[in-house]
Structure 1
Amino acid sequence: MINKLTLRTSIRLVLPLLAAIIFAGTVNAQQPRISDQIVAVVNQNIILKSEVDDRLREFLSVNQQVPYTESLWYEMLESMVDNFVMFEQAKIDSIVVSDDMVNRQLDQRIRQLVQQLGSETELENMMGRSIPQIRQEYRSQFRQEIMVERLREMQRSKIRITRPEVVEFFNTIPTDSLPMIPETVELAQIVSIPPPLAEARNLAYNKAVALRDSIVNHGAAIEELARKYSDGPSGPDGGLLPMMPMSDLVAEFAAAAAALQPGGISEVVETEFGFHVIRLNRRVGDRIETNHILVQVSSDQLDEDFSINLLETLRDSVITHGANFSALARRHSDDKMTAPAGGRLINPQTGERRIIMSQLDPALYRLVLLLDQPGDVSPPRAFNIDGDRKRAFRIVKLLNRVPEHKANLVQDYDLIERIALNQKQTWELAKWLSRLREDIYVEYKITNPYASR
């Protein structure tokens, strides 16, 4: 059962994300409005009934367990009013968002949608606009949402919780209502990505050289060759990588593209993904648009023995000679996400080191079952890194295991502290918003039974 405060908080927390999803209610946006009306005004900002309808429709599509009610419609209106109130306060507080940040987030969202829909053409057809028009139309909305989110996070970061407050929160929970905490583990890993066999690497390189020669010396179109020969996900789109910050690209690719003049073709460039032939289409500041052809080494032509032998050697160093696993992970692991932290894995949902066993991916779950005691290190096992087709190997160390148990302050203090802090932040942010409303002009153009509640 979702209570009103939880629901309103949920809507308010989701609202900036919905606004960042610039295409919420896209299908409806393309249909003509038979009628519309202004339902609220916040300073110079107006809120239309159709806008509330669109936001609520998107919210319900994400939260399908929540039924539509009239009160929910008004709660969404309240959330949109709150959003504009915070926007006005952000302007008063001189919160500034750079054009680069706005462009970066807008481009990231467009790339996500292009990937989901399959091509830029599909996105343009769905929106009824070109990509440049989409950017222009939604840039100010993105800027507003980033400003609001910065203000919100600045306020949230001021809210702290003390240990006595955590204990008091825990003691308010009836003993028979304390939840069972499932079995959790803390893990670290060392990953090795097999290098290509020398012969396979040479074949891939020579293929990339031949493709470049076809473009430079024989007039072939890079788009046509990319559709036929590229191993990258952009191949069906002619190898197009839409305008994006160079910092979003791997360093070797970005450096080679940045050295080109518009229309120029790079030499063959090697990255962790394979060999590239790149054409720079245009550059605006540190953002570039390119087409490229990627030639990868076949996954069945990798030197897997190299990775297995390396990991067996590292495992033996830990088990037999007492080497420090964390130090070895920092030095040898090919996983850029975990290596700097000594190979430690984190819960992707919470950012914590304790991971619920049942939430491990199947390959890792089976590997952890082999580990009995903290300190045990698994033998090398194969897996697909980052969920893609890239085959890699890893050894995993069990750092800690906590069996299933009823929640308590000794074993679960961090978890209980996070829950208590979230509750406190919810209440404090609600009170802060109420104070902001006293200083910023808000007028409802319809009767709102939930206003300022």
Structure 2
Amino acid sequence: MEKIRKNIGLLFVVIFTSAFGQEATNETLVTEVSVKDSVVAKRMKLDGIAAVIGDYVILDSDIEKTLVDLRNQGASTEDVTHCQLLGKLMEDRLYAHQAVQDSLLVSDDQVNATSDRQIQQLVQQVGSMEKVLKFYKKPDIESFRTELFEINKLRILSEKMQTEITKDVEVTPEEVRQFFYRIPEEERPIFGAELEIAQIVKQPKAPEAEVQKIIDRLKRIKQDVEENGSSFRIKAVLNTRDEPSRANGGFYTVTRQTPFVKEFKDVAFSLREGEISEPFETQYGYHIIMVEKIRGREVDLRHILMIPEIPDSAMKEAAKELDSIRNQLLDGKYTFAEAAQNFSDEKETRNDGGVLRNPIDFGSRFELTKMDPTLYNQIRDLKDNEISRPLREDDPRGGAPKFKIMKITNRYDEHKADFAQDYLKIQELALREKQYKAIKEWMDEHIEDTYIHVDAENRDCDFANNWVKE
């Protein structure tokens, strides 16, 4: 079991660092001799080259930067070795190299959108752009953006390739059973304390006149772009309330698996290239979408989000209504599940008796040590079967707040894995093991087919993969 855990950890940990692959520069002497359809590349180390994977060069300094960045992020590096870091960097570059060979391309807009979101998050965390630049020892924002672009492009290519490798990997119930009973009983995993949580939500409503005003504004933008050739990107920068995408003109790349609400994805995948949707509603507000590019299962799009203003009176009314529902629950007039089905505005949980679903495995349990901090703070003082007073939850995107009452419906103490009780978690472990095997087979095959050079100083590393091709 310990080996499985280590393999899964190495496979799925993504290191967000300043170490990134570089094209061969004047630090690398490259001589290419064409022989029929193949190219034999002889590469000589001049200054600190740890390894070469296809067109990617890994410098010794990249490994050191990775280690420093892991420490800066608060990760424990006590058991992390130079060879392990080099092996992980080589894996990432092999994925990225093969992604390019297989035409799994990444648009610059997608990479820039990711970088912009990261910069916004960093600024929010430390307080200013100047502090961010000082922390990362960058002279200006452009040099920081350039480095982030290279990091994110390689990371996204690597993730695309891994997704492509594992997209068709599934496990049957019988495979899950065999996986579990292969683990000796004394080595079966321990699962931490878990909770099941239910909630009833009231979403304050904007007046109809305010909603119509927002819809009319979105229609005018759509008309201006379609009839006058105005830039949708600029319109998004000026108008959208979706702060994470504002700087990039509302840009996202989405697939059916992207964790956006269903209504948004349904509209996105119903449009042709260049088409702009009619205004539509999600839980976040009102949107229009313009599709820029369709690449198989991926769609590059821009969107504008507008949020109707909600008066204080509507928010007070929502809280008051929840307080009334709570009193009826305490009086035994309804069960919590019945009240959720009858009164909750949150359709994702309403028909399930208000039960929250864990976004990690879509099960009903939340492990305390892995719970989202906001959710934990909402329920940490609740006793079993106690019903909270109305709580206000603000929308991080700047939308209207919602109000809710919550209840802990079940509590599970820390325990050794049980096949029936913990089936979903065991299924996930079995799937990851099967994905790991698929990736290992892919890795072995493509190491043989790719130009790889490991510097003499690193050839004695006990790599998980056959990088030195012995």
TM-score greater than 0.5 by the shorter chain: yes
Out of 432-441 and 6-15, give the one that drifted further: 6-15
Counterparts of 1:134-149 in structure 2, within 5 Å, are: 134-149=144-159
How far apart are the structure 1 equivalents of 2:68 and 2:155? 19
Indicate conservation of the 8 Å contact 1:344/1:353, yes or no.
yes
1:149, distance to aligned residue in structure 2 (A):
0.5
1:192, distance to aligned residue in structure 2 (A):
3.5
Indicate conservation of the 8 Å contact 1:83/1:148, yes or no.
yes
How far apart are the structure 2 equivalents of 1:341 and 1:18? 41
Indicate conservation of the 8 Å contact 2:70/2:77, yes or no.
no
Residue type of the partner of 2:122? L
How far apart are the structure 1 equivalents of 2:95 and 2:419? 36
Indicate conservation of the 8 Å contact 2:318/2:403, yes or no.
no
Q: 1:42 aligns with which of 53, 67, 72?
A: 53
* Uncovered stretches (5+) of structure 2, i.e. residues with no partner: 22-45, 207-240, 254-282, 285-299, 304-308
Tell me the equivalent position of 1:14: 13
Q: Percent identity?
A: 25
Q: 1:110 aligns with which of 75, 97, 119?
A: 119
Q: 2:202 aligns with which of 158, 175, 192?
A: 192
- Aligned in 2, Cα 1:18/1:86: closer, same or farther, shift over 3 Å? same
1:73, distance to aligned residue in structure 2 (A):
0.5
1:402, distance to aligned residue in structure 2 (A):
5.0
The Cα offsets for residues 340-390 of structure 1, whole Å up to 9 and x where unpaired, read as: 98754233555532123675625414335234xxxxxx3643355469999
Q: 2:107 aligns with which of 93, 98, 101?
A: 98
SS at match of 1:18: coil
1:151, distance to aligned residue in structure 2 (A):
1.0
- Aligned in 2, Cα 1:104/1:115: closer, same or farther, shift over 3 Å? same
Q: 1:423 aligns with which of 414, 418, 433?
A: 433
How far apart are the structure 2 equivalents of 1:178 and 1:52? 34
Normalised TM-score (structure 2): 0.60
Indicate conservation of the 8 Å contact 2:52/2:453, yes or no.
yes
Indicate conservation of the 8 Å contact 1:19/1:145, yes or no.
no
Tell me the equivalent position of 2:266: none
Normalised TM-score (structure 1): 0.62
How far apart are the structure 1 equivalents of 2:397 and 2:151? 33
| Structure that is richer in helix per residue | 1
Counterparts of 1:7-406 in structure 2, within 5 Å, are: 10-11=9-10, 13-15=12-14, 17-18=16-17, 36-62=47-73, 64-67=75-78, 72-125=81-134, 126-179=136-189, 181-182=191-192, 184-192=194-202, 242-243=247-248, 245=250, 304=316, 306-310=318-322, 312-313=324-325, 316=328, 320=333, 325=339, 327-328=341-342, 332-333=345-346, 343-347=354-358, 350-356=361-367, 361-367=376-382, 369-371=384-386, 378=387, 380-382=389-391, 384-385=393-394, 393-396=403-406, 405-406=415-416
- Aligned in 2, Cα 1:316/1:171: closer, same or farther, shift over 3 Å? same
How far apart are the structure 2 equivalents of 1:101 and 1:65? 31
* Uncovered stretches (5+) of structure 1, i.e. residues with no partner: 23-34, 197-231, 235-240, 249-271, 274-284, 289-294, 372-377
Q: Please give the root-mean-square deviation of Cα atoms over the aligned residues, in Å.
A: 5.0
How far apart are the structure 2 equivalents of 1:382 and 1:107? 32
Indicate conservation of the 8 Å contact 2:195/2:408, yes or no.
yes
SS at match of 2:16: helix
Tell me the equivalent position of 1:411: 421
- Aligned in 2, Cα 1:111/1:167: closer, same or farther, shift over 3 Å? same
1:100, distance to aligned residue in structure 2 (A):
2.5
How far apart are the structure 1 equivalents of 2:10 and 2:418? 31
SS at match of 2:200: strand
Tell me the equivalent position of 2:280: none
Tell me the equivalent position of 1:218: none
Report how many residues are paired.
358
Indicate conservation of the 8 Å contact 2:392/2:401, yes or no.
yes
SS at match of 1:409: coil
How far apart are the structure 2 equivalents of 1:379 and 1:116? 30
Indicate conservation of the 8 Å contact 1:40/1:444, yes or no.
yes
How far apart are the structure 1 equivalents of 2:156 and 2:16? 10
1:328, distance to aligned residue in structure 2 (A):
4.5
How far apart are the structure 1 equivalents of 2:151 and 2:77? 27
1:16, distance to aligned residue in structure 2 (A):
5.0
Tell me the equivalent position of 1:264: none
Out of 131-140 and 301-310, give the one that drifted further: 301-310
How far apart are the structure 2 equivalents of 1:190 and 1:117? 35
